[in-house]
Structure 1
Amino acid sequence: MDLYYFIGLYQHSAKLILIENKISCGCLFLRANLVDSFYVAQDQTDITQAYQERNLLIMSLSSIQIIAADPAGNKTIFVLTPVSREFYQPIASYLLSLKEHNAEQIAFVLPDEPGLHGRMEMCGLEFCGNASRTFALIQAKKLGFSGQHTLRVRVSGCEDPLDVEVNVETNYTKIRMPVPLSITSWNNDVLVDLGGILHLVTMDKAPNPAAFETLKEQLIQEYDPPALGVMFFQPENRSLTPVVYVADVRTTYFEGSCASGTVAVIAALTHACPSGDYSYTIQQPQGELTASIKKGKNHIDSVFIEGPVAAEEPITIQLPLQLACTGRI
């Protein structure tokens, strides 16, 4: 019996494993997902080399490139380095803990797709309008665009690609948002289903964690959505406090602003209105967003959200070594 050391990479991920096992010569069994590369060592010299290979691989996989952005106060970190979905949650948890960025959410940029200007997923695979319009601006700059352009991007929580108007000089963006799938009354409030996220619009109620938790538990029990928000809206001064929960990562944030929540608010405000064009500027804790809606008879033709975006230059950060090796912090 010989002692073999295997050092392998999971396909398309940054997870390293070390297997130490006694096996018979000529009877070699490798797990199916060890397909990218592996190293076999049969003596002490090779074992030393194997550990050196392992350490180099760990170091190369422990750094990622990110962009920190601020779309109307809804601070978002975009991970530019390709990452397997199994690493979304631990990487997001680490990035959200970085006080210098003070981010509310994490987005992951995906490889390009023909016919589109880019693809992006949120950590919990939910839909986020602010992240989507910011991503379009990031892509426009990456592609070397100047002035005004319309980009088509594919994002999580949406079945079809979205069109985003961007001005590279002014960092202003306008996104065509998904039309609500349904607008219904729910316990004297208004429930707006956007597919990738479910929003409850409640009027003239003070925003507080206890009220949100009560409503959240009721909505989860009844609908179990991938993400949900409670939009505490004050009609008198058109101010909104958005609170959003994402199930996959179990995060709750009183957000600086919320684009999809703003769509839910304008949908609720105009639900009983006749056909026509309506526009509202909604003040939010860290900024303001303008929403416009075009209504036909008994249906919504289109909804747009627009506002400024601030995005920093890409930077490279080091992940904790334990996260790079195990996928856990």
Structure 2
Amino acid sequence: MKQEIDFIKFSPTQNMTILIKTNHPAETYRHIASKIMSYDNVYAEQVGFIEKSKKKVNAHLQMAGGEFCGNACMALAAYIASEQGLEHNDLREILLEVSGTDKLILCQVKKKQNEYCCQVTMPIPNKVEQRMIKYDGIDLDMIIVRYQEYIHIVLEVEQFDEAIKKRAQTLARLLGLTLGDKLIGILLYKSESNELAPLIFVPQLDSLIWERGCGSGTASLGAYLAWKNKKEIVAEVMQPGGMIKVVADFNGDEIASIKIEGSVAIVAQGKAFIEV
């Protein structure tokens, strides 16, 4: 039996994102997501569901694995602004309730030709700390950026070679099994060139993807750099799909705010059909 799904597909820094418009029982989200994001369907790196919210916000975004996603926030904000008829160079504020955080997420959207420039106020991590661990026979110096329901690990590297990528994948799965978080991110960072290679693992979907661009990973990198340097950080972080800007404000001895900026293109909209 085939089920019909209304979807919109976005490209926020080539982090291909599908948002589902039709209403479905929450217990079917994982199945729908795994089918629609597969290579033989619409194909994407992540899936979210647009829900109505009881709060005074524009919408509720529920990611399929219950995780938080900055790029999906940008995508939904761009879609809502487009539906509201946002015109070239106009600015619109969109307020969202989002899975993976109890904070409301404020998005500013500006239309530029065929894309939407978005700025998102991101969650502030509960803790940033540095740890040295023995892993896979080597000493691994890692930065742990912990949030309410997800965790990012920043690893400073000289190259994005296959050996370190395989080690990152194994580490992500291991942490997914042991920590119980809804999302594990391993962020390989080359400080000299300000490049980021983000690996995202969502245990509930068994989804392990080297993303083309990661908004929440960029925010975590900004948090780490602000924590490390004890000052405000403004950085343009290059990723395989393009650049995402992060502004992390450091006030006294803590991170006060984090914002990311990137561009979103709406690339497809229509109906998908999946087996149920």
The TM-score normalised by the length of structure 2 is 0.88
Structure with the larger RCO, 1 or 2 (CA within 8 Å, 6+ apart): 2
Letter in 1 for 2:44: A
Larger Rg: 1
- 2:22 match: 81
Structure 2 contact 62–98 (Cα < 8 Å) conserved: yes
What is the CA deviation profile of residues 148-185 of structure 1, one whole-angstrom value per residue up to 9, with x for unaligned ones?
Answer: 01111011101021100001345100000001110011
Q: Select the residue among 190, 193, 199 that pairs with 2:143.
A: 190
Q: Which amino acid aligns with 1:253?
A: I
Alignment of 1:262-301 (within 5 A): 262-275=218-231, 277-301=232-256
- 1:116–1:204 Cα change, 3 Å: same
1:136 lines up with 2:77 in the alignment: yes
Residue 161 of structure 1, aligned match among 104, 115, 127: 104
Counterpart code for 2:31: P
Match of 2:267 in 1: 312
Query: For residues 93 and 272 of structure 1, what CA distance do their matches in structure 2 show?
Result: 38
How many positions carry a matched residue from both structures? 261
Q: Gaps (5+ residues) in structure 2?
A: 133-140
Q: Residues of 1 paired with 2:30 and 2:178: CA distance? A: 26
Offset of 1:217 from its aligned partner?
A: 4.4
> In structure 1, what is the Cα distance between the partners aligned to 2:76 and 2:248?
22
Q: Is the 8 A contact 1:82 1:111 kept in 2?
A: no
Give the equivalent residue in structure 2 for 1:113: 54
Q: Which residue of 2 aligns with 1:65?
A: 6
- For 1:102 and 1:128, locate their aligned partners in 2 and report how far apart those are by CA, in whole Å: 18
Identity, in percent, stands at 24
Structure 1 residues 319 and 223: CA distance shift in structure 2, 3 A: closer
Matched residue, 1:172: 117
Give the unaligned 5+ runs of structure 1: 1-57, 324-329
Could you tell which deviates more after superposition, 156-165 or 193-202? 193-202
SS of the residue aligned with 1:257? coil
Which runs of structure 2 are paired with 1:169-248 in the superposition (5 Å)? Answer: 169=112, 170-187=115-132, 188-204=141-157, 206=160, 208=162, 209-220=165-176, 222-248=178-204
Which residue number corresponds to residue 137 of structure 2? none
Task: From the two aligned structures, give the one with the greater strand fraction.
Answer: 2
Q: Equivalents in 2 of 1:194, 1:212: separation in Å?
A: 20
| TM-score, scaled relative to structure 1 | 0.75
| Residues 1:225 and 1:114: Cα distance change in structure 2 (over 3 Å) | closer
Q: Helix, strand or coil for the counterpart of 1:271?
A: helix
Give the corresponding residue for 1:90.
31
Q: Measure how far apart 1:296 and its partner are.
A: 0.2
Match of 1:138, SS state, is helix
